[in-house]
């Protein structure tokens, strides 16, 4: 089942726009340096800045359109889903991990639940309707549920989910104590011995530390292929406490 028809948006669209604007300004400065003695010295710098910003912007665009899809498949591969699990995607956005997990679940058995507050600042077109449309395009609507809510105070019962995943979402909680609260919520809603898989480019050392403090075992932090995610992204995997 392909996710090719789905649109998972552009990550950090404002950053990509700024790279493009700086690149254009750099080219203009470089061209101006060819004709104006006053700008000649800095014209070369303008071309250099333009090249760097263009490469970074294009890299971010490619990772948004293709690279993150590959990274999502790799992360869900690590979950080892068998078909009947309850999966939670924290900060699901337009449903990349949510839908990839749903593809591995059995109709009438497992369920992939997405939690989000639908903030479009960090993901273009981030909206419940867009996620539902993607689920329909990928043929997994019957295995997907969306819930409006904050990761720091989730509306779920304790020990509901077998697997909790999240990608490029928890860092959007800016206060360290509130990110720790989000991790405590993940631990609360996870079944004993369940799996947690998180991807992010900030604070992953803190995530690993906080999960260990919550009693998680087999905590691993590994870098995601840098060709797939921009900027450098780390994956944190852990097994929840048995609570025996």
Burial-class residue 34 by CB neighbours within 10 Å (0-12, 13-18, 19+): exposed
Q: How far apart are CA 130 and CA 120, in angstroms?
A: 11
Q: Report the 10 Å Cβ neighbour count for 106.
A: 12
pLDDT single digits (tens) 198-222: 999 999 999 999 999 999 999 999 9
pLDDT single digits (tens) 11-37: 888 888 898 898 888 888 777 667 666
Question: Cβ(28)–Cβ(46) under 8 Å?
Answer: yes
Hey, what are 141's tokens?
Answer: 């609507």
Q: Which CATH class is domain 68-239?
A: alpha beta
pLDDT single digits (tens) 115-154: 999 987 778 889 999 999 999 999 999 999 999 999 999 9
Alpha-carbon distances of 192 from 47, 86, 119, 145, 201, rounded to whole Å = 56, 13, 31, 22, 27
What contacts 218, CB < 8 A, 6 or more positions away?
237, 238, 239
- Looking only at the bridges linking them, the beta strands covering 234-239 and 190-200 are antiparallel
């Amino acid at each position: 089942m392909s996710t090719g028809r789905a649109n998972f948006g552009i990550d950090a669209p404002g950053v990509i726009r700024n790279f493009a604007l700086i690149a254009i300004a750099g080219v203009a400065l470089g061209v101006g340096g060819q004709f104006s003695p006053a700008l000649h010295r800095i014209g070369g710098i303008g071309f250099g800045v333009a090249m760097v910003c263009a490469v970074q912007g294009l890299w971010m665009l490619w990772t948004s359109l293709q690279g993150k899809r590959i990274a999502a498949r790799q992360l869900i591969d690590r979950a080892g889903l068998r078909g009947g699990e309850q999966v939670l995607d924290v900060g699901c956005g337009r449903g990349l991990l949510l839908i990839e997990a749903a593809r591995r679940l059995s109709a009438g058995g497992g369920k992939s639940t997405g939690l989000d507050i639908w903030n479009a600042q960090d993901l273009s077109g981030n909206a419940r309707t867009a996620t539902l449309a993607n689920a329909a395009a990928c043929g997994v609507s019957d295995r997907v549920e969306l819930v409006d809510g904050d990761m720091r105070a989730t509306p779920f019962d304790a020990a509901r989910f077998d697997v909790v995943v999240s990608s490029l979402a928890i860092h959007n909680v800016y206060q360290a104590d509130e990110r720790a609260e989000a991790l405590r919520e993940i631990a609360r809603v996870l079944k004993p011995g369940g799996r947690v898989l998180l991807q992010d480019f900030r604070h992953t050392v803190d995530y690993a530390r906080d999960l260990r403090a919550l009693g998680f075992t087999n905590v691993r932090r590994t870098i995601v292929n840098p060709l797939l995610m921009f900027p450098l992204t780390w994956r944190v995997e852990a097994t929840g406490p048995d609570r025996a």
